[in-house]
Structure 1
Amino acid sequence: MNYETVRDTNPTIADTLQEERTRQNESLSMIASENHVSEAVMEAQSSELTNKYAEGYPGARYYGGCEFADEVEELAIEYAKELWDADHVNVQPHSGSQANMSVYLAVLEPGDTILSLDLNHGGHLSHGHPANFAGQIYDVEQYEVNPETGYIDYDELHETAEHVEPDIIVSGYSAYPREVEFERVQAAADAVGAYHLADIAHITGLVAAGVHRSPVGIADFVTGSTHKTIRAGRGGIVMCDEEHADAVDSAVFPGTQGGPAMHNVAGKAVGFGEALEPAFEAYAERTVSNAKALGDRLQEHGLSLVSGGTDNHLVLVDLRPSHPNTTGKDVEEALEAAGIVLNANTVPGETRSPFDPSGIRAGTPGLTTRGFEEDACREVADLIGEVVDAPDDEAVVSATRDRVDDLTDSYPLYT
């Protein structure tokens, strides 16, 4: 893709798009919520469907000319049902956060109570942070991970639920490196008559491939992002049983958004279709084994991992035990200068500002898409460890940049 048509219209935008393509090619994306979609997904997302309004659902649109939009959306739904073994699927949400919003709108009233994991302990803004719509419309109570182990204490979650009597319990997280025991969350919800929303935004692909347990058929609602470990078109998804199908569909449209972004739905359909191929299971398995190799080697460098390791695609590093005077932002900026892109992140028991927290979060979905295996991830961990030890040393950062260049040349992304 050379953006020549864009260049004819706006050379500045074309240059910027090309620079972003170069940046992705020549750096290592380790932001746990990012991935690299196939060129087929990108082509679908830039299709003529971007021109089409399709308010409503297949067979019941408010506009004419939707026959091909219907076909694409029906395929996306069919593939999603097969991937996650779901009874009902809505593929229209523009994001995982809007998917969550639609569930809240479907079954809650303003002032109802959400019980969710605290953001500093690995939760997400859309689970009830006061800066987010969820925290402004609903009452929010929160549970935490055990500060000693880094694991969710499901017994304590159950006790908290009995104490606060929430209307909905949210499981699923943005910075939790361990497998989620959805059955135990469901037991807590059943005990107090609450709904259970499982947000699998990060692990959609791992669940689809069977390398992480699935909440489908356990939780009342399952939401997710479609562009992270599943590598499909950018957006969100809601799954539920038929009992809640009408309420969810009405909450998505017209409840929380107007017309679906049909070009993104096309990208979802293409990506879901790719995930049904046998190679995707191997990809998901390698994503997890790569994360374990990364985490183990980081610990060999003396870095402390929240919960002591990982079961999924990410590791969460607490810098305080080994580098008490170094913040996550210090490391994030130094690593980005070296060509490794990850993010500063809060950690359980956080004592610093979320804008300059005590940890870093690193994921392997993007590296695995490039073709990295465990040895290459160990090498990346070596590079991270060296930069963490000397984030202000320009010679170390420069040498790391050179080694990153070798890795990106060896594992090309887009040609």
Structure 2
Amino acid sequence: MDHDKVRDVDPAVADALEGEVQRQRETLQMIASENHVSDAVLDAQGSALTNKYAEGYPGERYYGGCEYADEVEQLAIDRATELFGAEHVNVQPHSGTQANQAVYFAMLEPGDKILSLDLTHGGHLSHGHPANFTGQLYEVEQYEVDAETGYLDYEGLAEHAAEFEPDIIVSGYSAYPREVEWERIQDVADDVDALHLADIAHITGLVAAGVHPSPVGVADFVTGSTHKTIRSGRGGIVMCDEEYADDIDAAVFPGGQGGPLMHNVAGKAVGFKEALEPEFEEYAEQTIANAKALGERLSEHGFSLVSEGTDNHLVLVDLRESHPDTTGGDAEEALEEAGIVLNANTVPGETRSAFNPSGIRAGTPALTTRGFDEDDCRTVADLIARVVDSPDDESVLAEVREEVATLCDENPLYE
């Protein structure tokens, strides 16, 4: 992978691009929302569709010259429809947050009520945090997981919904390691006459592969990211029943954004095609198997896992019991120095600041893309334990860096 044409024009940017490729090659990417797309997806996203404005939708554009943009977007729509079994799909959102925004703008008025999971319990900013537009435009209350078990408190959710009477209930999470019982949340929404938005941003690929229960056909709206576990072009997606199609499309364009990023839509189309191949189900299954192996070995090292394990692509570690003097920020910084990149994360019952919380979140999508198996992930867990046990020991960090380099050499990336 070279950037010679960029270097001819802008050596500084070329240096940064080549540095990023090298960083990804030489470190273990374990941020649960990150992955490594294929060369084909990279090529699509760097294509001449970068130059094309295509405001509107296939066959109904506001500009001329859209015949190939139409073809690409329709391929993305058709493939997503096949992957998820949705009646209607909009592939234009620039991100998962803008996909959520489209649902809110289509269905809610300012001041309407949203009930969603608290951010410190695994929710997302776009579900109602006061720093986000959702917390500023709507009245938001939040439910929680059971702080003792780490599992969603469905009964507490039902009680909260009955009292709050929300207009929409948001499910789907950014740091929840267990399967979601979509039907139970839909039952709650039905009981209080609320809409149900299921945000599958993190598990889009797992749902597409059929290794995690799907909310499509259960929830009124399903949104997601199109990178993360599904490894396609970066952006978002909205799925819904046909009765909501016109409202959702209008909320995406012109309601929330202008022309779609057609090069990203091309990347989505290519990634969706890859996800339709039988190998993708094997990848998704391996991603979960790797996360389970990672979590089990971390538990053997004495780390406390929220909910005591995982059903999906991530593990959430609460450091307060095993390493009371080490914050998530401390662990993240030391691990990155050793070549393992993950993120500090809040945990249920958080007692520290969200800027330097008590937990770390580790995911296996990118490791699995590189070819890691369960044994590799157990080795990674051993390395994580060594670093977190001695975050200030430079000799330990150096030794782990060497072992990370060996793992990366054995599982090369972007050769």
Shorter-chain TM-score tier: over 0.9
Post-superposition Cα deviations, 1:114-150, rounded to whole Å, max 9, x if no partner, equal 0000000000000000000000000001000001100
Tell me which residue corresponds to 2:69.
69
Instruction: Give the Cα separation in 1 of the matches to 2:156 and 2:352.
Output: 26
Does residue 328 of structure 1 match 2:328? yes
> 1:305-344 maps to which residues of 2 (within 5 A)?
305-344=305-344
Instruction: Give the Cα separation in 1 of the matches to 2:28 and 2:14.
Output: 23
Instruction: Give the Cα separation in 2 of the matches to 1:290 and 1:197.
Output: 29
Does residue 8 of structure 1 match 2:8? yes
Instruction: Give the Cα separation in 1 of the matches to 2:3 and 2:215.
Output: 41
What is the SS of the residue equivalent to 2:249?
A: helix
Does residue 53 of structure 1 match 2:61? no
Tell me which residue corresponds to 1:271.
271
Post-superposition Cα deviations, 1:87-118, rounded to whole Å, max 9, x if no partner, equal 00000000000000000000000000000000
- How big is the shift at 1:4? 0.3
Instruction: Give the Cα separation in 2 of the matches to 1:116 and 1:327.
Output: 27
Tell me which residue corresponds to 1:167.
167
- How big is the shift at 1:156? 1.0
> 1:383-402 maps to which residues of 2 (within 5 A)?
383-402=383-402
User: Which contiguous aligned blocks of 4+ residues in structure 1 show a shift greater than 6 angstroms?
Assistant: none
- How big is the shift at 1:265? 0.0
Instruction: Give the Cα separation in 2 of the matches to 1:156 and 1:125.
Output: 21
Question: Percent of counterpart pairs with the same letter?
Answer: 75
Post-superposition Cα deviations, 1:313-359, rounded to whole Å, max 9, x if no partner, equal 00000000111110001000000000000000000011111111000
Instruction: Give the Cα separation in 2 of the matches to 1:384 and 1:183.
Output: 37
Tell me which residue corresponds to 2:361.
361
Letter in 1 for 2:269: A
Instruction: Give the Cα separation in 1 of the matches to 2:153 and 2:93.
Output: 32
Does residue 237 of structure 1 match 2:230? no
Tell me which residue corresponds to 1:135.
135
Does residue 346 of structure 1 match 2:343? no
> 1:111-130 maps to which residues of 2 (within 5 A)?
111-130=111-130
Letter in 2 for 1:281: E
Tell me which residue corresponds to 1:251.
251
What is the SS of the residue equivalent to 2:230?
A: coil
Tell me which residue corresponds to 1:108.
108
Instruction: Give the Cα separation in 1 of the matches to 2:209 and 2:12.
Output: 41
Post-superposition Cα deviations, 1:278-300, rounded to whole Å, max 9, x if no partner, equal 00000000000000000000000
- How big is the shift at 1:153? 1.1
- How big is the shift at 1:155? 1.1
Instruction: Give the Cα separation in 2 of the matches to 1:103 and 1:273.
Output: 26
Letter in 1 for 2:43: E
Instruction: Give the Cα separation in 2 of the matches to 1:9 and 1:241.
Output: 48
What is the SS of the residue equivalent to 1:229?
A: helix
Instruction: Give the Cα separation in 1 of the matches to 2:400 and 2:95.
Output: 35
Tell me which residue corresponds to 1:146.
146
What is the SS of the residue equivalent to 2:16?
A: helix
Letter in 2 for 1:244: Y
Tell me which residue corresponds to 1:375.
375
Letter in 2 for 1:75: L
What is the SS of the residue equivalent to 1:183?
A: helix
Instruction: Give the Cα separation in 2 of the matches to 1:217 and 1:367.
Output: 31
Q: Which runs of 5+ in 2 are unaligned?
A: none
What is the CA RMSD across the aligned residues, in angstroms?
0.3
> 1:38-49 maps to which residues of 2 (within 5 A)?
38-49=38-49
Tell me which residue corresponds to 1:287.
287
> What TM-score, normalized by structure 2, do the two folds share?
1.00
